[in-house]
Structure 1
Amino acid sequence: MPSWEEWRRKAMDTSTFAYGYVIPVLVISLSYTRAIRYLWTAVDPLEDISESKKAKWKVTKMIIIVTILFCLCWLPYHVVILQYFYGDFPFNQTTYAFRLLSHCMAYANSCFNPIVYALVCKHFQRASKRFSAVS
């Protein structure tokens, strides 16, 4: 734990929350919203319109799941940091366990994305099978 003056530490943690969570969530949300809008309005349907809609729904669902996972995995980490400096966050076994869990959730987000891709996207499943066969 750095031994900084309290106001500097609060400024750093608030900046970390803004630049490490709020801005990424806004950028991800806006970018994915634009991508989904483009997918549904500008991409020509495949030969079979029902198959095209089905494929578009899969992509849309995957994007929404990845975005929600990012938000859910990283929010506890930032809440713990902000609660510690702005609220009442005593040091005991429960809060220590919650702090460890929040760190694990934040880092696990990187592990969840390939799982989501594998469950939703057939192209990802085929590519990963080819990769497994090569290695």
Structure 2
Amino acid sequence: MAEAHEEFRHMANIVDSVFGRDAAETLAGCTSMHDLIVVTRPIPEPPYDVIRVCSPSSMWPVRTGHVVIEHLTVTGRNDRIERPTSDAVPLFWRFMVEKYGIAPIRTESGDTDPSPPAQA
């Protein structure tokens, strides 16, 4: 999809970063036809919290050139951040660290944990 539609490139970059940072053993994901849904592994018994990365065609509005990442909780204490798509991968890992305590083992360059984007 991202090869044919550049506006989805940041979604593919997030998935690539999970594999490139050796996190596929600790995270599981699926798509809802539009959004990327991520949960920890092993997958807990329902109900459980998830991270949703909203795509450009999401049912939840996303401004052009932006990404929305949400922590959807069973308690209703959800968290939602919108940033430019250039911040999608660091923002995703910020959610993984803050919400699940999962930091990437390494980045593509061999460095450890990426820096999160600046707070707004």
Judging by fraction of residues, say which structure has more helix.
1
Greater length-normalized contact order (CA 8 Å, ≥ 6 residues apart): 1
Higher strand share: 2
Which structure's CA Rg is the greater one? 1
